[in-house]
Structure 1
């Protein structure tokens, strides 16, 4: 008899095929976001659950979770949607999918940098609405990227990949990280021992930090005012590290020239004002959305579950 696996969102076809080969799968067929109660119902007779970003795997979830479930694998690197302390108290193993979405997310960060700087969203809108009046010397002038200063908050795998791409644009890279990188990994980037020390050097600021109690809402008016006037903010990390009201104010005032955002607090129900700002370049959380990356993520998620079911060490285990 196969173990029962509950999967809260539809996955790439090859990953679902593999899951069906090893497990009696309970699928969320319509792929709509599930509430806590709906996930618990889906997993009522399960041995394992495969969840995704946005699923409410909180303390109340673990309190109601059947003791039969030994592992929850998340189809993500981030675990801010999971109460890790509650999982540990319940004795549930948590697995994630690190190391396979670095390049895809760094590519999206660069799409946002270029799109926000060169007003690509506004330009495409003119084409699609047939409102373009032709080339003219003062039309839709943006910000040059080449040779500028790029600040990075969070110099992990993705931050380093963004910095690597910046060298192709002759950018001067500055960064803040909880710990300084070894010299051979800095590749000429300048380390700052605090975010406040970093900010004055950031004509572009790219966020690559996790969502934690310390980082949620950290991009607020106080932080934004320390950026040079005309700076551009990029976020491919987590939406809730940004205070939406403060960022929108900075964009409206012109203190920031633009923002490129792939993630949002409360997504998909984002702050409505973003949609009406011409100086935003917005994407619907596409950071890891390549066929290769999503398949690799699914592979790691199932590897975690397979190992747990076999009584082996879970390869990508997360601890509180």
Structure 2
């Protein structure tokens, strides 16, 4: 008998076909609406594998309802939406999709940095609104990127790829990480710094660290007060790493120059969120890995993890030892 799996969002047909070759598949069909909690509670009781997204909270209460679940395949690098300890205790593998989205997310991060620094969105709106009457020397002037200092908080795969891009702009690159990356220092000419020094010296601060209890609200009032008034904060990691209330006040009071955000603590973000009212904030709907090629590869990798888990194999991209 083929194992039963549940997929919490519509995935590419080619990936669905691969899963369907070996599994009995049921899938939530709504494109723009996450699977309701009560539906997930019902489905998890009798499935062998769960293919899910960051939009699903897989907590201990939900896992207690699982009778035969072998693997949770998260289509993301991060997995803070899953209670990994609870899954491990029940002998359930938790997997993610690392590596495949590294370059795409680094592309988006640098694009967001450039758009924020050069006020691209603001300038486009200015033109479309009919406000452009004449050329003026200081009209919509932004910040230089070439030759500036970039501070990267979290030197993982994506952080290194961001550093690679920054080298092309002749940027001085500082980084802060739990441990030094001496090989990366040699390869990219980057400098290790404590967090306070990085914040004081950087023209751009990019948050690239994983979201954990230790990094929750890592950037708050104190940290923002250390930054230059001309500095720009970019966050493409997780929303909870930056204290949004503190960031709003810092931007509103011109304590820092601007921010570029792909992530928020609560997603989807409320359209009335205070940060969305500020002209010096460029915001995106969590599209860091959103290229057709990368999202397809992520789905394929998540499918491979799922199939390995339900077939009794150890998934290649496990994040725990069930």
TM-score scaled by length of structure 2: 0.95
Residue 2 of structure 1: aligned partner: 2
Q: Is the 8 A contact 2:106 2:158 kept in 1?
A: yes
Q: Is the 8 A contact 2:184 2:190 kept in 1?
A: no
* Cα shift readout 1:173-219 (whole Å, capped 9, x = no counterpart): 00001110123554210101x31232112110001101100111111
- Counterpart mapping for 1:185-204 below 5 A: 185-186=185-186, 187-192=188-193, 194-204=194-204
Structure 1 residues 148 and 215: alpha-carbon distance in aligned structure 2, compared to 1, 3 A threshold: same
Q: Is the 8 A contact 1:262 1:283 kept in 2?
A: yes
Residue 289 of structure 1: aligned partner: 290
Query: Matched residues in 2 for 1:275 and 1:134: separation?
Result: 28
Residue 47 of structure 1: aligned partner: 48
* Cα shift readout 1:109-137 (whole Å, capped 9, x = no counterpart): 01110011011111121233333224221
Query: Matched residues in 2 for 1:127 and 1:4: separation?
Result: 54
Q: Is the 8 A contact 1:204 1:231 kept in 2?
A: yes
Residue 127 of structure 1: aligned partner: 127
- Counterpart mapping for 1:160-239 below 5 A: 160-183=160-183, 185-186=185-186, 187-192=188-193, 194-239=194-239
Say if 2:81 is the partner of 1:69. Answer: no
Residue 279 of structure 1: aligned partner: 280
The alpha carbon displacement at 1:26 in A equals 1.1
Say if 2:75 is the partner of 1:83. Answer: no
The alpha carbon displacement at 1:255 in A equals 1.3
Report which stretch shifted further, 136-145 or 36-45. Answer: 36-45
Give 5+ residue unaligned stretches, structure 1. Answer: none
The alpha carbon displacement at 1:58 in A equals 1.2
* Cα shift readout 1:137-156 (whole Å, capped 9, x = no counterpart): 12111111110000000000
Query: Matched residues in 2 for 1:185 and 1:173: separation?
Result: 10
Q: Is the 8 A contact 1:12 1:294 kept in 2?
A: no
* Cα shift readout 1:38-78 (whole Å, capped 9, x = no counterpart): 212233432110010121111211122x2211111000010
Query: Matched residues in 2 for 1:89 and 1:36: separation?
Result: 22
* Cα shift readout 1:227-274 (whole Å, capped 9, x = no counterpart): 122110000100111111000101111111110110111011246112
Q: Is the 8 A contact 1:204 1:234 kept in 2?
A: yes
Query: Matched residues in 2 for 1:22 and 1:133: separation?
Result: 63
Q: Is the 8 A contact 1:36 1:57 kept in 2?
A: no
Q: Is the 8 A contact 1:113 1:234 kept in 2?
A: yes
Structure 1 residues 227 and 5: alpha-carbon distance in aligned structure 2, compared to 1, 3 A threshold: same
The alpha carbon displacement at 1:294 in A equals 0.9
- Counterpart mapping for 1:244-259 below 5 A: 244-259=244-259
Q: Secondary structure at the match of 1:286?
A: coil
- Counterpart mapping for 1:87-98 below 5 A: 87-98=87-98
The alpha carbon displacement at 1:295 in A equals 1.3
TM-score scaled by length of structure 1: 0.95
Query: Matched residues in 2 for 1:222 and 1:63: separation?
Result: 40
Task: Report the aligned-residue RMSD.
Answer: 1.5
Q: Is the 8 A contact 1:14 1:295 kept in 2?
A: no
Give 5+ residue unaligned stretches, structure 2. Answer: none
